[in-house]
Structure 1
Amino acid sequence: MATTDESISPDRLYERIERGEGVSVLDVRDRDEFEAWHIDGDGVDAVQIPEMRFVQAEIQGTTADLVDDLAEPITVVCARGRASDEIAGQLRDAGVDAVNLAEGMNGWARVYDADELAIDADAEVLQYRRPASGCLGYLVVSGDEAAVIDPLRAFAGRYVADAEDRGADLVAAVDTHVHADHVSGVRAVADAADAAAWLPAGAEDRGLAFEANLYEDGDRLRVGDADIEAIHAPGHTSELCVLRVGGTLFSADTLFLDGVGRPDLERGADGARDLAADLYDTLHERLLDLPDDTLVAPGHYGDADEAGEDDLFTARLGDLADRLDALSMDRESFVEFAVENLSPRPANHEQIVAANLGRDELPDEEAFEAELGPNNCAVADAG
Structure 2
Amino acid sequence: MSVHSESDGSVPSVSPAELHELVAGGESLTVLDVRDRDEFEAWHVDGPAVTARQVPHVKFIQAEVTGDAADLVGDVPEPIVVVCGEGEASAHAAGLLTDAGLDARNLAGGMDAWADLLVGREISDVPGTVIQYDRPSSGCLSYLVVSGDEAAVVDPLRAFADRYIADATERGADITYAIDTHVHADHVSGIRAVAEASDAEPVLPELARERGLAFDARPLADRETLDLGGERLRAVHTPGHTSEMTAVEYDGLLFTGDGLFLESVARPDLEDGDEGAPDAARRLYRSLQETVLPFPDSVRVAPAHYSEAADRAEDGTYTASIGELAARLDALDMREDEFVEYVLADMPPRPNNYERIIETNLGRESLDDAEAFEIELGPNNCAATR
TM range (shorter): over 0.9
CA distance in 2, matches of 1:242, 1:358: 22
Partner residue, 2:358: 353
CA deviation after TM superposition for structure 1 residue 2, in Å: 7.8
Cα distance change, pair 143–2 in 1 and its aligned pair in 2 (3 A): farther
Point out where structure 2 has 5 or more consecutive residues left out of the alignment: none
CA distance in 2, matches of 1:238, 1:20: 37
CA distance in 1, matches of 2:345, 2:49: 31
CA deviation after TM superposition for structure 1 residue 112, in Å: 0.6
Secondary structure of 1:261's partner?
Answer: coil
Counterparts in 2 of 1:358-373, with a 5 A limit? 358-373=363-378
1:97-116 deviation line (CA, Å, top 9, x unaligned): 32221221111011111111
CA distance in 1, matches of 2:55, 2:354: 29
CA distance in 2, matches of 1:331, 1:90: 56
Letter in 2 for 1:135: C
Letter in 2 for 1:320: L
Letter in 2 for 1:223: L
CA deviation after TM superposition for structure 1 residue 18, in Å: 4.0
CA distance in 1, matches of 2:48, 2:347: 25
CA distance in 2, matches of 1:108, 1:338: 31
Q: Does the 8 A contact of 1:24 with 1:46 survive in 2?
A: yes
Point out where structure 1 has 5 or more consecutive residues left out of the alignment: none
Paired positions, count: 380
1:111-158 deviation line (CA, Å, top 9, x unaligned): 1111111244x4321111111111111111101100000000000011
Partner residue, 2:187: 182
Letter in 1 for 2:196: D
Q: CA RMSD in A?
A: 1.7
User: When the two structures are superposed, what TM-score results if normalisation uses the length of structure 1?
Assistant: 0.95
1:301-341 deviation line (CA, Å, top 9, x unaligned): 11111212311111110111111111111111111111221
CA deviation after TM superposition for structure 1 residue 37, in Å: 1.9
User: When the two structures are superposed, what TM-score results if normalisation uses the length of structure 2?
Assistant: 0.94
Does 1:36 pair with 2:42? yes
CA deviation after TM superposition for structure 1 residue 52, in Å: 3.0
Cα distance change, pair 76–219 in 1 and its aligned pair in 2 (3 A): same
Partner residue, 2:18: 12
Does 1:131 pair with 2:136? yes
Secondary structure of 1:250's partner?
Answer: strand
Q: Structure 1 stretch 372-381 or stretch 357-366: which is displaced more? A: 372-381
CA distance in 2, matches of 1:373, 1:268: 20
Partner residue, 1:104: 110
CA distance in 1, matches of 2:52, 2:38: 14
Partner residue, 2:4: 3
CA distance in 2, matches of 1:3, 1:352: 37
CA deviation after TM superposition for structure 1 residue 95, in Å: 3.4
Partner residue, 1:329: 334
Aligned counterpart in structure 1 of residue 162 of structure 2, from 157, 160, 173 = 157
Among all aligned residue pairs of Structure 1 and Structure 2, give the percentage whose two residues are the same amino acid: 55
CA distance in 2, matches of 1:18, 1:337: 29
Secondary structure of 1:305's partner?
Answer: coil
Partner residue, 1:94: 100
Counterparts in 2 of 1:155-304, with a 5 A limit? 155-304=160-309
Q: Does the 8 A contact of 2:35 with 2:56 survive in 1?
A: yes
CA deviation after TM superposition for structure 1 residue 171, in Å: 1.1
CA distance in 2, matches of 1:140, 1:73: 38
Q: Does the 8 A contact of 2:259 with 2:265 survive in 1?
A: yes
CA distance in 2, matches of 1:317, 1:36: 33
Q: Does the 8 A contact of 1:119 with 1:248 survive in 2?
A: no
